[in-house]
């Protein structure tokens, strides 16, 4: 298994992978420009996940940081318990898309077969393909409170720099981001994808891979989207106690955050934000 792409100290400076150019004709004020121009589009390809040789799920994703996505998905879905349960991971490109071949611990594979899902993931949808309502809510314990209270200044500082660490969105305008910020509000890692769930899984995969260096109680997650139920559940599965969203949370997300001990913050823009759950974690 190769280590995910990283920049020493700060993992926010990789180039805008996952984009492809095409020729477009622009119209301004109702009139066409003289000549076609080159434009960049975010890539979206199928990624099939196979565990110990058995197909399990297919998601549509931006083809960068795919190892992080495979690891993060496996972790937030409860397929593996830690990075140590993943023995090998290979990404193979095909004409139809990419295949992530994961070799996991026998105990994890046995458990996976017992609660087999048939997921056909779609962009922006994290619950497609679940076989029953019992599969939606995972029996997770409440997360531990942050190591130190989160300060408003740290949240606002991180939000001010979030746009600067999204090269793919800057080039295409078509991707979401999930970022990890420390208690000072410095963004240390960021992942982008056309799917908001994928972006968060990629980030969590990177955090899990670096767990010895990264304490998930010593910071918070930023997401450039609304805060849905599953975004909160994925964060809680990774032990993350604070989720900060650019847009609104759903009612189910707020209920889930309250139950799992997650401080959920929405409408984090400019100089303002709204705390929906567990305000005691705020300094």
Phi, psi of 96 (to 5 degrees): -85, -20
Q: Across the strands, what pairs with 41?
A: 20
Please say if the pLDDT value at position 44 is more than 80. yes
pLDDT band at 119 (very low <50, low <70, confident <90, very high): very low
Mean pLDDT of the chain: 88
Query: pTM score, two decimals?
Result: 0.88
Phi, psi of 17 (to 5 degrees): -70, 170
Helices marked H in the chain — which ranges?
66-76, 106-114, 152-162, 167-172, 196-209, 229-237, 251-260
pLDDT band at 113 (very low <50, low <70, confident <90, very high): confident
DSSP state for residue 113 in the 8-state scheme = H
Contact in structure between 195 and 223 (CB atoms under 8 Å): no
Which tops the pLDDT comparison, 62 or 125? 62
Q: Across the strands, what pairs with 193?
A: 176
Helices 229-237, 196-209: inter-axial angle, 10-degree rounding: 10
Active-site pick, 43, 108, 125, 128:
125
* Fold of the domain spanning 152-281: Cytidine Deaminase; domain 2 (3.40.140)
- Segment 189-198 shows an average pLDDT of 96
Please say if the pLDDT value at position 3 is more than 60. no
Which tops the pLDDT comparison, 256 or 131? 256
Tokens of 229: 């139920």
- Reported as type and span, the H/E element at residue 269 is strand 263-269
Phi, psi of 271 (to 5 degrees): -115, 10
- Segment 245-255 shows an average pLDDT of 97
Q: ∠ CA(211), CA(7), CA(77), 5° rounding?
A: 40
CA 146/CA 200 separation, integer angstroms: 19
Residue 64 a catalytic site member:
no
Please say if the pLDDT value at position 85 is more than 90. yes
Q: Is 130 helix (H, G, I), strand (E, B) or coil?
A: coil
Domain layout of the chain by residue ranges: 152-281
Closest CA to 72 of 64, 84, 80: 80
Task: Count CA atoms within 13 Å of residue 33 on its CB side.
Answer: 10
- Reported as type and span, the H/E element at residue 162 is helix 152-162
pLDDT band at 214 (very low <50, low <70, confident <90, very high): confident
Write down the pLDDT at residue 124. Answer: 52
Q: Across the strands, what pairs with 223?
A: 178, 245
């Amino acid at each position: 298994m190769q280590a995910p792409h990283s920049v020493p100290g700060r993992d926010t400076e990789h180039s805008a992978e996952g984009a492809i150019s095409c020729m477009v004709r622009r119209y301004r004020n109702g009139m066409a420009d003289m000549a076609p121009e080159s434009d960049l589009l975010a890539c979206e390809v199928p990624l099939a996940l196979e565990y110990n040789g058995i197909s399990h799920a297919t998601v549509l994703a931006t083809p960068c940081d795919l190892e992080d996505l495979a690891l993060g998905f496996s972790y937030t879905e409860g397929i593996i318990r830690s990075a140590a349960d993943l023995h090998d991971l290979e990404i193979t490109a095909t004409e139809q898309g990419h295949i992530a071949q994961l070799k996991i611990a026998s105990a994890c594979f046995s458990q996976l077969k017992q609660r087999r899902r048939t997921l056909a993931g779609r962009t922006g949808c994290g619950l497609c393909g679940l076989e029953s309502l019992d599969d939606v809510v995972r029996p997770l314990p409440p997360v531990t409170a942050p190591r130190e209270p989160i300060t408003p200044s740290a949240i606002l500082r991180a939000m001010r720099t979030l746009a600067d660490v999204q090269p793919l969105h800057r080039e295409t305008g078509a991707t979401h981001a999930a970022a990890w910020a420390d208690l000072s509000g410095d963004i240390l890692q960021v992942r982008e994808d056309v799917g908001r769930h994928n972006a968060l899984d990629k980030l969590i995969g990177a955090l899990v891979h670096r767990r010895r260096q990264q304490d998930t109680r010593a910071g918070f997650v930023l997401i450039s989207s609304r805060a849905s139920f599953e975004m909160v559940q994925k964060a809680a599965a990774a032990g993350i106690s604070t989720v900060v969203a650019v847009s609104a949370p759903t009612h189910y997300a707020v209920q889930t955050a309250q139950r799992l001990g997650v401080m959920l913050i929405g409408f984090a823009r400019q100089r303002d934000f709204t705390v929906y759950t567990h305000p005691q974690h705020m300094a």
